[in-house]
Amino acid sequence: MSVSMKGKSLVSVHDLTIEEVWQILELTRAVKEKNLVGEPYRPLEGKTLGMIFAKPSTRTRVSFEVGIYQLGGVGLYLGPKDLQLNRGETISDTARVLSRYLDGIMIRTFSHQDVVDLARFGSIPVINGLTDLLHPCQALTDLYTILEKRGKLEGLKLTYVGDGNNMAHSLMHAASKIGMHVAVGAPKGYEPAKEIVENSKKNAAFWGTDVVVTNDPVEAVRDADVIYGDVWASMGQEAEADERKKLFEPFQINAELVKRAKDDYTFLHCLPAHRGEEVTAEIIDGPHSVVFDEAENRLHTQKAIMALLM
């Protein structure tokens, strides 16, 4: 498969074609294989990635910074106090200026509109490293991890249990785009955004697969091939943590709940994880969990994304 993605931005998985998703997954496999045998892969020699962080990060910062280095380029960390955005400079001006200096931008921020505007006004690829609405790099990593562990994607059922947040949104986009069944089990009032659900159902209609949103975690998990968990209170929601714990307690991924899944289910979590809250230690540290392989795959998937876009 050879689909040219040079110069494009990754704002949402929903914006990608099926061919582009597979291009990313196939290059991820090749990049990981090269890494395992120590074979250099440096297509971005002399290129610079600007990394804008409005939110702190472990996996996103380390994986992008190491990834651009391994690809032959340089990563420039731009923290909350490093840009003039906090002093009133517009996103459009920032995008135009950075486009004169850099070869690509990765941004991890709160407002999704900031990413949209960077991509709109800039003339270089913009990679969404996370917003309050979406987390596309993680979802593409998850597709690759499922493919790596299960040997296929089409026809599998992925169940997400918990808050209908940015992770749920991107997983719905990704799973429905690639021919998987997807179910989300979330408390009432915490379901995924209606627009995301509608887009995912349109994707699923192409394949004849199901997209289900339910307030019953048992219904969501029934016959799942993959179970996915995330924290109940995301960054910026710390004040709601105690209230959310009470509401989300019935949605804990534990030994009783996973009985409804297939016997050989795979457990994923984007991390960080709070053992004893959204998932028990028995599950996340158990034989079905591949969360650390999944975390490693962020490096390989994002290298593939950068190599294709930049």
| pTM across the whole model | 0.96
What integer pLDDT is reported at residue 140 of this predicted model?
Answer: 98
What integer pLDDT is reported at residue 260 of this predicted model?
Answer: 98
List the catalytic residue out of 23, 103, 112, 138.
138
- The answer to whether the 13-134+296-309 and 137-292 domains have the same CATH topology is yes
The verdict on whether 230 is a catalytic residue reads: yes
List the catalytic residue out of 108, 112, 169, 173.
108
List the catalytic residue out of 14, 59, 112, 135.
135
The verdict on whether 270 is a catalytic residue reads: yes
List the catalytic residue out of 14, 142, 270, 300.
270
Question: In 3D, which of 211, 162, 155 has the Cα closest to residue 183?
Answer: 211
Q: For residue range 154-194, what is the model confidence (pLDDT) as tens digits? A: 999 999 999 999 999 999 999 999 999 999 999 999 999 99
Residue ranges, the chain, pLDDT below 50? none
Q: Which residues contact 99 (CB under 8 A, 6 or more apart)?
A: 122, 123, 124
Q: Give yes or no for a contact between 50 and 61, defined as CB atoms under 8 angstroms apart.
A: no
CATH number of 13-134+296-309, picked from 3.40.50.300, 3.40.640.10, 3.40.50.1370, 3.40.605.10 = 3.40.50.1370
Domain residues of the chain, as ranges?
13-134+296-309, 137-292
List the catalytic residue out of 103, 142, 163, 230.
230
For residue 254, the one-letter residue type is N
Kindly report whether the peptide bond that precedes residue 40 is cis, defined as omega within 30 degrees of 0.
Answer: no
What integer pLDDT is reported at residue 82 of this predicted model?
Answer: 82
What integer pLDDT is reported at residue 86 of this predicted model?
Answer: 59
The verdict on whether 135 is a catalytic residue reads: yes
The verdict on whether 108 is a catalytic residue reads: yes
Superfamily for domain range 137-292: Aspartate/ornithine carbamoyltransferase (3.40.50.1370)
